[in-house]
Amino acid sequence: KNEVEQSPQNLTAQEGEFITINCSYSVGISALHWLQQHPGGGIVSLFMLSSGKKKHGRLIATINIQEKHSSLHITASHPRDSAVYICAVGNEMGRDDKIIFGKGTRLHILP
Amino acid sequence: GAVVSQHPSWVICKSGTSVKIECRSLDFQATTMFWYRQFPKQSLMLMATSNEGSKATYEQGVEKDKFLINHASLTLSTLTVTSAHPEDSSFYICSARVREGLSNEQFFGPGTRLTVL
């Protein structure tokens, strides 16, 4: 079992739909990252959080430390949101704090 | 949030040449920078951890003589792919970590796509 699991692996939705991507992890973490990777490859850091909830525009990220689970929500989705969304956790390993990446969720928003 | 830049964003080179990729933290000092590689449709894989002023720590299977890392200042780390071959074609991403008090935040660069002909 991977230490970071994302679901779904692939998601196709219509423009305007509310999108939820889930991330579960099995290790102790210092922080959780949500990254966006567009087809050209460029990576954008969306959120880094260690508790609670963060919001930026149409994006919302939540984390439940007790349940070791995080969700990324996109409201009023748009075709330009089509990308791969990657969940990554900073592993609590003393000072090393290596990042463990999920395999990503490929999101396709249809116009 | 803090910004990490990479240069170039993409590069095409001939087999046998060396390519240098820069990673800069633009508005903060990064004590540690990480270099990742991503092959098509795969997850990012950590190549090495770079601490300012000391030698990089390479992950198992990563050739230190092929992927030279220099972290000369708190805002700049470079990755040089020496004698590049087509199998080195990949997407290279850096991240930078800042430690301030209890903060242990890590920020990702946009990546550099390397194509070796």
pLDDT in tens, B30-82: 888 999 999 887 888 999 998 888 889 999 999 999 999 998 888 999 999 99
Q: Is B53 exposed, middle or buried (0-12, 13-18, 19+ CB in 10 A)?
A: exposed
Question: Looking at residues A81-104, what average pLDDT do you find?
Answer: 81
User: CA separation (Å) from B20 to A40, A78, B16, B40, B103?
Assistant: 20, 37, 13, 21, 30
Facing residues of A90 across strands? A31, A99
Is 60 exceeded by the pLDDT of residue B116? yes
pLDDT at residue A98, as a whole number: 74
Model pLDDT for residues B27-42, shown as the tens digit of each residue? 888 888 999 999 887 8
Nearest CB partner across the interface for A41, out of B97, B108, B111: B111
β pairing state of B10-13 and B112-116: parallel
Q: In this prediction, what percent of chain A has a pLDDT beyond 90?
A: 68
Distance from C-alpha of B21 to C-alpha of B93, rounded to nearest angstrom: 10
Is 70 exceeded by the pLDDT of residue A75? yes
Q: In this prediction, what percent of chain A has a pLDDT beyond 70?
A: 93
- Phi first, then psi, for residue A26 (nearest 5°) are -120, 0
Record the tokens describing residue B32, joined without a space.
């540690």
Q: CB neighbours (10 Å) of residue A12?
A: 12
Give the CA radius of gyration of chain A: 14
Instruction: Please report residues of B whose CB lies closer than 8 A to that of A33.
Output: 106, 108
CB-based contact A98 B106, cutoff 8 Å: no
Question: Looking at residues A19-27, what average pLDDT do you find?
Answer: 95
Is 80 exceeded by the pLDDT of residue A97? no
Q: Which residues of B touch A (CB under 8 A)?
A: 1, 9, 34, 38, 43-44, 46, 49, 91, 93, 95, 97, 104-111, 113
What confidence category does residue A29 fall into, taking pLDDT thresholds of 50, 70 and 90? confident
CB-based contact A42 B46, cutoff 8 Å: no
